[in-house]
A and B are shown apart, each in its own frame.
Chain A
Amino acid sequence: MAITLETTSGRCRAIVRGNMTIYEAAADKPVLLDALAKPGDVEIDLSAVSEMDTAGLQLLILAERESLKAGKRLSIVGHSESSLDVLDRYNLVSYFGDPVVITRPERRKSSRRSRR
């Protein structure tokens, strides 16, 4: 439902819980920008994201772009299955440059098979 910020030892952790969709986007945007405005690196934790859509993805892109502008390091961690699927569909995993737990080719195949 919401994003909570935790600041520990010079880095800000943004934990996204529940959905990250157009319904939450308006509320999520200022929180993410807020996280980027804090000193230190930023980490966005997607492990508790249950559903993500294009609006949610755009916010991640925005955050990444802002972090590049500000010369910070933004890392996205703990991709949940649905968030990874979205990144994957848009082929943006490499744009964010974060290590993901499940490797792409395997996942692709399995997800396709399950749809059949």
Chain B
Amino acid sequence: MSMAIVQQTYIVESRELLRDMESALLRLEKAPQDAEAITAVFRAAHTIKGSSGAVNFDAIVAFTHAMEGVLEQIRSGRIAIDGKLIAMLLACGDHVSALLDCLAADDRNAAFARIRGKGENLLKDLGARLPAPPLPAVAPREAEVEVERIGSATVASGDWHISLRFGRNLLKNGLDPLSFIRYLATLGKISQVTTVFDAMPDAAVMDPESCYLGMELDFNGAVTKDTIEDVFEYLREDCAIRILPPHSRISDYVDLINALPEDKVRLGELLVKSGALTRRELDAGLRIQAEGAKRKLGEILVGQGAVQDELVTAALEKQDLAKKNRAIESSFMRVRADKLDELITLVGELVIASAGTALAAQRASDGDTIEAASTMAQMVEEVRDRALKLRMVPIGETFTRFTRLARDLGGELGKQIELALTGTETELDKSMVEKIADPLLHLVRNAIDHGIEPAGLRRERGKPAAGRLQLNAYHDSGSIVIEVSDDGGGLDRKRILERAVERGMIAAGHTPGDEEIHRLIMQSGFSTARTLSNISGRGVGMDVVRRNIESLRGTLSIDSAEGQGTTFTMRLPLTLAIIEGFLVGVDRSSYVVPLEMVVECLELSAEDRARISESGYINLRGEVLPLLRLREVFEVQGEPGRRENIVVVNYAGRRAGFVVDTLLGEFQTVIKPLGRLFERLSGISGSTILGNGEVALILDAPALVQRAVGAEAARRFSKSEEPL
């Protein structure tokens, strides 16, 4: 694994942790006593710190360390949680995220420099929350050091002494003592280092990937024992760590020497040489040990017991955590997105190839081959479904992000927002998730800014003071439907009309239907906001949302009741890669209609055929079915065949019939995007390759249905006006 990949994983994981932390913080805001949430926040900060240390990213280590200090106080109940504290911690999370961004930036140093001031302010805020002593990261070097000192005979040295014996598997576990030493060096001054490698076996049996080293460090810095322990937190599991505070009792050093695996005399010399002990102190210590074992033993044992207790619990906690992590690891696997994309592309080709085989088998009219081909086609279909499912993710994660947004925006606008998330387990393609984030963001902002009224107005209208915003998702015939609904004022019809007339978009005196009103607000540059807020209202919103959604082969519809609220409904295909299609022929070309939109097929009867050229619709079981002749839409030359057929297509509750020459049947198809040259072609959303190698165009059914329905409405409109 190269460093780049490690770093990539680190960034991805850290971002996930930050998201966890954020949602835990938001939970805390509502329920400050939620111990689980406190622990979740703490754990997230702690894990980020640890992994940042492992990839040598000191800036984040130092920052999360400071956060952890405050979180620890919260956890132990010494600091009470209030809104300000949560806001600060949220800001801290954002800062860590910004630091991660810096890692990915082209010019890291410049990126760091830009956010440095912010980080320092946050560190100051964090420090202000802590009871004395101040945080080591911002504390002056000479600050008082907290040491418990019992007993009389202490050593003169004012340095901490840290004794480390690294575990054999440390390096194999991806940890390097160096990064911890480097980090320690940022907290103070490492005055003396002695490396011992007595544990290294003979060359023949020495495993180059095991760690045989140990260190005796003398460290000078205004820190607490906890801080130093924290530095080596990640080593605790596999390492023997002994920390002696400045001016420790001589007997502690003696214990240390006794506890270490190396030769006692050599260690004594080593400590003297490193300046931790003076010669006199060492001699005194050895003497005490020899004569006063009785006197000291109890005391030492008690002392040791306490230390060990703490260490044991910590170790157990860590093991628990490690076990849990392993359990999660075994049920999940991280796969690079592009690998999945490659797989999907290949499966797409497989689908085409399989269709080709089926066609060839049919032509050869050999029963066995046909059967084999159809079995294979079935399997391929299954493989395709499974492959697509691999990329499916629940939409819940996307929704959850808005919790923070709703909170922040609400705060900024002085509105109380209650966000309800439903249907969070609804799945959709990962690539779609990324693409809907922006439109969704716009809609949520709009709802909070324009939709939900200020608390005062809400009370006047007899609504609860807190505005309710609901995000909902569900599957509906091959599409995913996402709804953003608020219980606000609804679209202000009058205001929209005024503005539209003002801008010359409609004629004065004309009273458009709801549909038209909804279309109006999706025009570019349209805004009814009286004042521009920095959140929305610049009139670049809705048309961008609409275009974004349309580019994903989706639609956006609005349902609004004045005074009661608005619901925006996004309807999107589940995936962008493969669709089940229904193949139709016009003259010699083939077209694909997305199968899930096809309701039924009928033959165009002779009498209807005579009529439709004029009326443009047929009577389908008592209902008007507007028709669209694909022959005309695509300007296909030549005369229609003896028979024509109608494919009835349903999209978002509207029906239209496409008139085609032949019905060729169901067909799975891989969507190939059109070249840039054809991007603006209306009525066509993509192309695909048939089993026989020919190209078929995929119809943009939503647009065509819209066109048919629109044309039909216009015809009726002009007819009704004629008599006047």
Say whether A associates with B.
yes
Name the A residues within 8 Å of B176 (CB-CB). 22, 53-54
Q: Give the distance to chain A from B235, nearest Cβ to Cβ, in Å.
A: 12
Which one, B178-186, B219-227, B695-703, is touching chain A? B178-186
**Binary interface profile of A, 5-35, with partner B (CB < 8 Å = 1, else 0)?**
0000000000000000011011011000100
Which residue of chain B lies nearest to A55 when distances are taken between CB atoms in the complex?
A: B171
C-alpha gap A15/B203 in the complex (Å): 20
Name the B residues within 8 Å of A57 (CB-CB). 213
Enumerate A77-93 residues with CB–CB distance to B below 8 Å.
Answer: 86, 89-92
**A53-B178 contact, Cβ under 8 Å, with A58-B212, A59-B208, A91-B194:** yes
**A22-B209 contact, Cβ under 8 Å, with A54-B176, A66-B203, A91-B193:** yes
With an 8 A cutoff between CB atoms, is A65 at the interface? yes
B213–A58 touching, CB < 8 Å: yes
Name the A residues within 8 Å of B192 (CB-CB). 91
Enumerate A45-79 residues with CB–CB distance to B below 8 Å.
Answer: 53-55, 57-59, 61-62, 65-66
C-alpha gap A26/B35 in the complex (Å): 47
Q: Give the distance to chain A from B238, nearest Cβ to Cβ, in Å.
A: 13
Which residue of chain A lies nearest to B3 when distances are taken between CB atoms in the complex?
A: A51
Name the B residues within 8 Å of A59 (CB-CB). 208
With an 8 A cutoff between CB atoms, is B378 at the interface? no
Name the B residues within 8 Å of A115 (CB-CB). 58, 186
Where chain A touches its partner, the secondary structure class is: helix
B178–A26 touching, CB < 8 Å: no
C-alpha gap A53/B178 in the complex (Å): 7
Q: Give the distance to chain A from B442, nearest Cβ to Cβ, in Å.
A: 42
C-alpha gap A14/B172 in the complex (Å): 26
**Binary interface profile of B, 139-171, with partner A (CB < 8 Å = 1, else 0)?**
000000000000000000000000000000001
- Among A29, A54, A91, A115: residue with most chain B CB under 10 A: A54
Contact of A26 among B194, B203, B209, B212 (CB under 8 A): B209
Q: Give the distance to chain B from A2, nearest Cβ to Cβ, in Å.
A: 14
Name the A residues within 8 Å of B181 (CB-CB). 89
A29–B193 touching, CB < 8 Å: no
C-alpha gap A61/B210 in the complex (Å): 13
Name the B residues within 8 Å of A112 (CB-CB). 185
Name the B residues within 8 Å of A90 (CB-CB). 193, 195, 213, 215
Contact of A54 among B1, B200, B203, B211 (CB under 8 A): B211
Name the A residues within 8 Å of B212 (CB-CB). 58
B197–A26 touching, CB < 8 Å: no
B206–A29 touching, CB < 8 Å: yes
C-alpha gap A61/B185 in the complex (Å): 23
**A28-B208 contact, Cβ under 8 Å, with A33-B203, A54-B171, A54-B213:** yes
Which residue of chain A lies nearest to B189 when distances are taken between CB atoms in the complex?
A: A112
Q: Which residues of A contact B (CB under 8 A)?
A: 22-23, 25-26, 28-29, 33, 53-55, 57-59, 61-62, 65-66, 86, 89-92, 95, 112, 115
Q: Which residues of B contact A (CB under 8 A)?
A: 1, 58, 171-172, 176-178, 181-182, 185-186, 192-195, 197, 200, 203, 206, 208-209, 211-213, 215
A57-B213, A91-B192 are known contacts; what are 18 more A-B pairs with Cβ within 8 Å?
A22-B176, A22-B209, A23-B1, A26-B209, A28-B208, A29-B208, A54-B211, A55-B171, A55-B209, A55-B211, A61-B197, A62-B203, A65-B200, A66-B203, A90-B215, A91-B193, A115-B58, A115-B186
6 closest A-B pairs by beta carbon, nearest first, are: A25-B208, A91-B193, A29-B208, A90-B195, A22-B171, A53-B176
CB<8 Å pairs between A and B, sample of 21: A22-B208, A25-B209, A26-B208, A33-B203, A53-B171, A54-B171, A55-B208, A55-B209, A57-B213, A58-B211, A61-B197, A61-B200, A62-B206, A66-B203, A86-B178, A89-B182, A90-B215, A91-B193, A92-B195, A112-B185, A115-B186
